[in-house]
Amino acid sequence: MKCHKNELKRRIYEKKGEKLKKKKGQTMDANIDKAARDIVNAKKIAALTGAGISVESGIPPFRGKGGLWESFDPMEYAHIDAFLNHPEKVWDVLLKGMKEIMDRAKPNDAHLGLAQLEKWGYLQTVITQNVDGLHQMAGNRDVIEFHGTFAINYCMDCNRIYNLSEITLDQLPPKCTCGGIIRPDCVFFGEQIPHENIMRSFEIAQNCDIMLVIGTSASVHPAAIIPSSALESGAKVIEINPELTPLTGRTSHYILKGPAGEMIRQLISKIKSIRE
Ligand code: OAD
């Protein structure tokens, strides 16, 4: 009798779970539908992207499960003082590994989908916090690299520029022909964001009618407040992220809750069918 009761309970839970899954699936389909319609009716769209958009390209994020800051203390490896005091350690532990991963990475369906949105004329600018260059590789032409880029490196003494492929990492830190230390052209913690990046990004946020916010935990300022600047200027903010963020339900109007590659693939196919 007890066993029978338990079996009954299990079946009830299973049915409830199935119903919940079905309901979630229906909500997601409805949100994809809504986002596709919002996009085709918009005049100016901007996207703000973060590390999450490159996860499906094999690049780990910074926060959350499997994130870089789970294994490395950012103050010990990603602060400018850490780099200035121990450039060999920062290159060895953090930058070298990131370079190797980024060398292999290719754009995924999310990057390619954003490039398609630009080709169709819906998306004007991508503001990215990423330093991996995957948006440009996918085909987007107006990309603001808010936190700089890993593709360009320069000598801290004579400013000579080196592409990532020109640097050998046999001896760390890599050195310029003048003997100076080479650093990546990205923003370390404790450094200023280039003024031009801030000015343009906020100007774009204040003049778009949709902002897509993809794969960012919205926890690093000032990038984190770009979506609220868009919202305050009347834009609709649509998030794409498998997790809820501080923007969800406050700044964003709705969320496509799932991995960016999968969500954007569905979005693009929906837009295609609307356009036909
Ligand atoms: P985070 O690592 O803080 O957040 C990654 C976000 O991506 C999280 O919200 C995840 O839920 C989400 N995510 C994970 N997998 C995903 C997937 N497949 N598709 C979509 N989203 C996914 O990365 P950022 O917000 O970019 O700054 O971090 C901001 C800044 O913090 C970085 O630019 C870097 C870092 O410290 C500097 O180095 C200055």
Both 198 and 86 in one domain: the answer is no
pLDDT of residue 269: 98
pLDDT tens readout for residues 9-50? 777 777 766 766 666 676 778 999 999 999 999 999 999 999
pLDDT of residue 26: 67
206: containing domain: 40-59+107-147+193-276
Please provide the distance, in angstroms rounded to a whole number, between the alpha carbons at the two ends of the chain.
59
Report the C-alpha gap between 212 and 256 in whole angstroms.
10
The residue whose CB lies within 8 Å of the most ligand 1 atoms, and thus the one to mutate among 62, 225, 240, is 62
User: Lowest mean pLDDT: which of 14-23, 191-200, 234-243, 252-261?
Assistant: 14-23
Both 52 and 182 in one domain: the answer is no
pLDDT of residue 4: 72
Is 163 contained in some domain? yes
C-beta separation of 244 from 255 below 8 A? yes
* Mean local confidence (pLDDT), 148-153: 96
> Which pTM does this prediction carry?
0.92
pLDDT tens readout for residues 117-135? 999 999 999 999 999 999 9
Both 171 and 55 in one domain: the answer is no
Is 20 contained in some domain? no
Q: Which of 147, 195, 221, 253 is catalytic?
A: 147
C-beta separation of 5 from 234 below 8 A? no
CATH code for the domain in which residue 165 is found: 3.30.1600.10
Q: Which amino acid is at 134?
A: L
Domain boundary among 137, 164, 186: 186
Task: Specify the number of domains making up the chain.
Answer: 2
pLDDT of 1 above 90: no
For ligand 1, residues with CB inside 6 Å are: 50-53, 55-56, 61-64, 67, 74, 78, 129, 147, 187, 189, 215-217, 219-220, 241-243, 245, 259-260
Tokens of 100: 């190797």
Both 179 and 121 in one domain: the answer is no
Is 13 contained in some domain? no
3-state per-residue secondary structure call for 161-213:
EEEHHHCCCCCCCCECCCCCEEEEEECCECCCCCHHHHHHHHHHHHHCCEEEE
Q: In what order do the strands lie in the sheet with 148-155?
A: 161-163, 148-155, 182-186
Both 200 and 256 in one domain: the answer is yes
Both 50 and 164 in one domain: the answer is no
Residues 6+ apart with CB under 8 A from 68: 60, 61, 62, 94
Active site annotation includes 253: no
Tokens 């520029």 locate to 161
Domain boundary among 167, 186, 205: 186
* Banded pLDDT at 177 (limits 50, 70, 90): very high
* Mean local confidence (pLDDT), 188-214: 98
**Relative to the CA of 187, which ligand 1 atom is closest?**
39
Is 3 contained in some domain? no
Identify any residues that bridge with 240 across adjacent strands, giving them in sequence order.
214, 256
